Amino acid sequence: MESRKTSKGDLESKKAIFFEIGLVVAMALIYFALNAKSYQKRSVAMLQQQVQHNTEELVPITEQKQNLPPPPPPPKQVTQIKIVSNDVKVNDNVDIDVSASQSTAVANYTPPVEDEDVQQQQIFVVVEDMPQFPGGMPALMKYLATHIQYPSLAKESGIQGRVFINFVVEPNGQIDHVKVLRGIGGGCDEEAVRVVKSMPKWIPGKQRGKPVRVSFNLPVKFTLE
């Protein structure tokens, strides 16, 4: 029988090469098999810690209201009953006229007269007849210029100006309640008060024809020559 293999398809010459390749592969498998490490599976149990959050309960503060005793009852007012005898006669016949017209005559109303003590106690600022110094304002200026003594302290310090004095002219003309409204110092205030207190009686002020108490303001001038 005729052989159909070619010289190239003959594998006998390559047997040694295949043997060496197989030997290398076998040795490699043995080497990896010996050096391979096997690990045992370990099951690690994870401990889970359960944290319990204990929330503190806030207890509300209760305020205890004290029951206050009721207030004492008000004292009873005892009303006195006045017994009136039956023999008192009461006039029940009162005539009321409601048919008034423009021609009806009406009596003039007269206001009640104030008590004289009340008028004397009240101090007026403006009245119908103002109080005045005997002889009028020129006599008053002359009196002040004659009786005022310029304080030495005010002279040395060069103090000059006007001191405003307030006083009350009583119903009898007497000067009372003397005080300084505005002063300049240096002893001028005290000197002005002294001169005003030493003045003679004034002609009192009048309201409705009767003398009354009147408040009066007086400027006292101090001038260095």
pLDDT in tens, 162-183: 999 999 999 999 999 999 999 9
CATH number 3.30.70 given to 123-222? no
Q: Supply φ then ψ for residue 12, to 5 degrees.
A: -65, -35
**Six-digit token string for 76:** 């009873």
Tokens 């010996």, located at residue? 34
Tokens 């006007």, located at residue? 162
Listed by start position, the domains of the chain span 123-222
- Of 137, 141, 131, nearest to 162 by C-alpha is 141
Spell out the alpha helix ranges (H) of the chain: 15-35, 116-121, 137-147, 152-157, 188-197
pLDDT in tens, 122-172: 899 999 999 999 999 999 999 999 999 999 999 999 999 999 999 999 999
Beta bridge partners of 207: 210
| pTM exceeds 0.85 | no
How far apart CA 186 and CA 150 sit, in angstroms, is 10
